[in-house]
Amino acid sequence: MVAPAVSPDSAPDPSTESTAAPESTARSATPEERAPRWHVLVRLLVAAAAGVLLYLSGPPRVLWWLALIAFAVLGWMIRDRRARAGFGYSLCFGLGYLVPLLAWTGEFVGLVAWLPLAFAEALLVALSGAAISVVSVLRGWPVWAALLWVAGEALRSVFPFGGFPWGNIAFTQPEGVYLPLAAVAGTPLIAFAVTLTGFGLTALVRRLTHGERTARRLLTPVLAVLLPVAAAFGALPLVGTDANDGEATVALVQGNVPRAGLDFNAQRRAVLDNHVDRTVRLAEDVAAGREQQPDLVIWPENSSDIDPFRNPDARAGIDRAATAIGAPIAVGSVLVGDDGLPRNAILLWDPDRGPVSQYTKRQLQPFGETMPWRPFFRLFTSAVDRAGRFVPGDEPTVFDMGGDTGRARVGLATCYEVAFDGVVRESVEGANLLAVPTNNATFGYTEMTYQQLAMDRVRAVEHGREVAVAATSGVSAFVRPDGSISQRTGLFTDAALVERVPLRSTTTLSDRLGSSPEWVLTILGLGALAAAVVVRRRRAST
């Protein structure tokens, strides 16, 4: 990272400059302006280290509280700075967070995806940081700063490349005290609570170190730290786990792949055979009384990359598995349309009637299923042509898959889709169980699968549903409606999980509110930004 030509600290904030002397009077350099250049480099490194702390707060580690420290440090770095200083420090913070977080994206098309994507996302984080620096002149600035962080996440959820919300703060918190807030207003409220606590810590420490230790001066930062935590505990009664729409016995089949890595797609037949064979073995266990008879079975995304409508052998294999287990199977398949282009689909396969319904993935993964700006990126590497040319679906689908004491109506969010608030919200409408078929084999032993499982846990609480995660090579899991995991598999092993799960039709407050909390928080943050700009200009003109 090259230090800017003008130090972020070298230009004092207009809100902190003395206005006692006339403009024509020369002023002495401030201590910050006299500071050696290496001080700036240290600050940049500290900001990047805070971003690394935010990365370390997420899965597979159980260090959720590091996120609070990360935002406290960021707040310390950009409080009372000019916008460009806030931009520079926040850019380093974003890089410290996103470069390691998104390392898995490089497994498929190399550095051309990983580093540009991380840098683009970090630039958007830097915009939020610049805005936060501006509003830090306002009273109660931790509130406005947290609102602007939510506004930044809203932007990153739609831009670039159709949005990339993978780094949303809520997904670092499946083990944290803030998780129940998902049932109130989804991921934006968790982000607001975490950042408000962190920035509140900044304000509290600043006042203590400046000798402002009266109850009146400490009240606001103390409330900023404690109220989000209190709200999270207050939301606990809204997290339901009861089976208010019956129960169903669900099987997750993880057939595994012959080898990890980029040649996964060359192993299509072996992957399909693995899932057929593992389902048949499960049927044998059921017949021997070693396992419960499932009411429905979930196979992973890409479990049949061979189109069963075009390949009789693939169709016969799936038929054999469904007949053996005696239950409908949700089969992840790649279908080829009349235009010759592939669709990432989930087929509802009935043991008697064969395929009876279909869901086509709507939110496709850039740099994997699609390649944004393909001609441009091809200038740097031919690896871009490893990415697919998939065609997205256009509507959610709920599978009616039977059940024991109730009918399982299964909503579907395929792999990458689980990161998107709106896509999952649409998927659970009319569903009493959420299935997440996923394929992480391409990404090997990276942290991608654990990051995605954290999202599944947040979605379980947000929508009050059991989440059944079926992965080709792991991690497959049953996630309870309170976000806890009842069963899970390891990576790159074949397995079958069977569990009696609750079916729930309760609509959470988060579902009823929809996207409105994010809009309200964003508008409030932008309003505060506009007010802060006016305040700064008035101070600068006096």
Q: Give the three-state DSSP class for 234.
A: helix
At residue 116, what is the residue type? P
CA proximity to 187, closest of 212, 161, 169: 169
Task: Please state the rounded mean pLDDT for residues 440-458.
Answer: 93
Which ranges of 5-82 would DSSP assign to H, the alpha helix? Answer: 31-34, 37-56, 66-78
pLDDT at 34 over 60: no
Residue 205 sits at the vertex; the CA angle it makes with 3 and 53, to the nearest 5 degrees, is 50
- Mean pLDDT score across all residues of the chain: 90
Pick from 17-31, 284-298, 301-315: least confident: 17-31
Task: Please state the rounded mean pLDDT for residues 392-407.
Answer: 88
Active centre residues (catalytic): 301, 361, 415
pLDDT in tens, 333-347: 999 999 999 999 999
pLDDT at 30 over 50: no
20 pLDDT band, cuts 50/70/90, is very low
Q: Residues 6 or more apart from 238 whose CB is under 8 A from it?
A: 180, 183, 184, 508, 509
d(CA 424, CA 427): 5
12 pLDDT band, cuts 50/70/90, is very low
d(CA 193, CA 377): 38
Q: Give the three-state DSSP class for 218.
A: helix
85 pLDDT band, cuts 50/70/90, is very high
d(CA 194, CA 181): 11
Residue 416 sits at the vertex; the CA angle it makes with 411 and 420, to the nearest 5 degrees, is 70
Which ranges of 380-438 would DSSP assign to H, the alpha helix? Answer: 421-428
- pLDDT in the model for residue 14: 39
Task: Please state the rounded mean pLDDT for residues 391-408.
Answer: 88
Q: Residues 6 or more apart from 187 whose CB is under 8 A from it?
A: 153, 165, 168, 169, 170, 171, 421, 458, 462
Q: Give the three-state DSSP class for 371.
A: coil
φ, ψ of residue 178 to 5 degrees: the values are: -85, -10
- pLDDT in the model for residue 258: 83
d(CA 439, CA 416): 9
Q: Give the three-state DSSP class for 360.
A: strand
Pick from 5-19, 386-400, 406-420: least confident: 5-19
Task: Measure CA 289 to chain center.
Answer: 39
- pLDDT in the model for residue 109: 61
At residue 67, what is the residue type? A
- pLDDT in the model for residue 384: 72
Task: Please state the rounded mean pLDDT for residues 154-171.
Answer: 93
15 pLDDT band, cuts 50/70/90, is very low
CA proximity to 100, closest of 180, 172, 44, 13: 172
- pLDDT in the model for residue 259: 64
pLDDT in tens, 238-289: 999 999 999 999 999 999 998 654 454 558 889 999 999 999 999 999 999 9
pLDDT at 426 over 90: yes
pLDDT in tens, 200-239: 999 999 999 988 778 788 999 999 999 999 999 999 999 9
At residue 406, what is the residue type? G
Which two three-digit tokens encode residue 205?
């420490």
How far, in Å, are 93, 116, 166, 176, 387 from residue 364 at the CA level?
28, 19, 13, 29, 11
How far, in Å, are 202, 242, 330, 505 from residue 245 at the CA level?
46, 9, 21, 6
The residue to which tokens 């997750």 are assigned: 252
How far, in Å, are 21, 110, 371, 390 from residue 387 at the CA level?
62, 11, 6, 9
- pLDDT in the model for residue 4: 37
- pLDDT in the model for residue 227: 98
Q: Residues 6 or more apart from 409 whose CB is under 8 A from it?
A: 398, 399, 400, 401, 430, 431, 432, 433, 503
Task: Please state the rounded mean pLDDT for residues 389-398.
Answer: 94
pLDDT in tens, 484-504: 999 999 999 999 999 999 999
